[in-house]
Amino acid sequence: MLDQLEARRDTIAKVLCNEKVVKNGNQIILGAFLTLISALASASIAISLYPLLRRYSEGLALGSVGFRIIEGVLYIVGAIFILLLLALSQEFVTSGIPHASYFQTLGDVFLAGYHWVSFVGGSIAFSLGALMYYVIFYQTNLIPRWLASWGLVGATLCIVACLLVMFCLIGPFSTFQVVLSFPIAVQEMVLAVWLLVRVFNASAIASLSAKTEVNEILISA
């Protein structure tokens, strides 16, 4: 843990003193903007799936929307931390005070905040939301069960990686965290391609519609 803290302080010092960071500020701003778009996409995906998934399990569908919205909010907060770190770096370079401790402290806070909200909080929220709709996918055969199972395993591994980062057993965005998060990253891309090409299982949707109609008839009777 002490090694990780020392490495973080060294990273902060390099970032604050690096004029290339200041000169490439527009690229960092663009990255933050793309993060905002990603945050909006995270929430919109869950919201767009909600009308369908609520017919199978309203609780899980609502939970997935809630966690994906939390994920988006945390990614926005992470982008703000990066922009604050950029502003701090610009001020540090122009001030001509290479060893100002308050710059170092603020940089530490901003970088730690970015790591916590992006690599821990945001990732956990994403994984919990994903687990909820993959449970529905697995139970209903809306997508092939091998694909839903892959999502369940991948999301679980991602949560494990986040917990390891949380307890300082591995570093944020370390090789180990990337390896554990890789399965769900690939699975999400495969799922997107599958839905574009094959869409959801029509027979599973038809079966649900038939059951819903029968239930409505029984209730009205």
Mean pLDDT, rounded, of the chain: 82
pLDDT higher at 101 or 141:
141
For the ranges 2-11, 22-31, 157-166, the one whose mean pLDDT is highest: 157-166
pLDDT at 2: 37
pLDDT higher at 104 or 130:
130
Confidence of residue 217 (pLDDT cuts 50, 70, 90): very low
Residues of the chain with pLDDT > 70: what percent?
A: 78
Q: Which domain holds residue 170?
A: 2-220
Number of separate domains in the chain: 1
pLDDT at 200: 78
Report CA-CA distances (Å) from 157 to 72, 77, 170, 184, 195: 20, 24, 14, 8, 23
Confidence of residue 111 (pLDDT cuts 50, 70, 90): confident
Tens of pLDDT, residues 156-209: 999 999 999 999 899 888 999 999 999 999 999 999 999 888 877 777 776 666
Confidence of residue 86 (pLDDT cuts 50, 70, 90): confident
Burial environment of residue 129 by CB neighbours within 10 A (0 to 12, 13 to 18, 19 or more): buried
CA 30 centroid distance within chain = 19
Confidence of residue 4 (pLDDT cuts 50, 70, 90): very low
Least Cα distance to 44 among 24, 69, 20, 10 occurs for 69
Confidence check: pLDDT of 77 > 90: yes
Name the token pair of 49.
Answer: 């799936």
pLDDT higher at 2 or 139:
139
pLDDT at 88: 81
pLDDT at 98: 57
Ordered alpha helix ranges (H), the chain: 2-17, 19-23, 25-53, 58-95, 101-115, 122-140, 145-166, 175-197, 202-220
Assessment of whether the complete model's pTM goes beyond 0.85: no
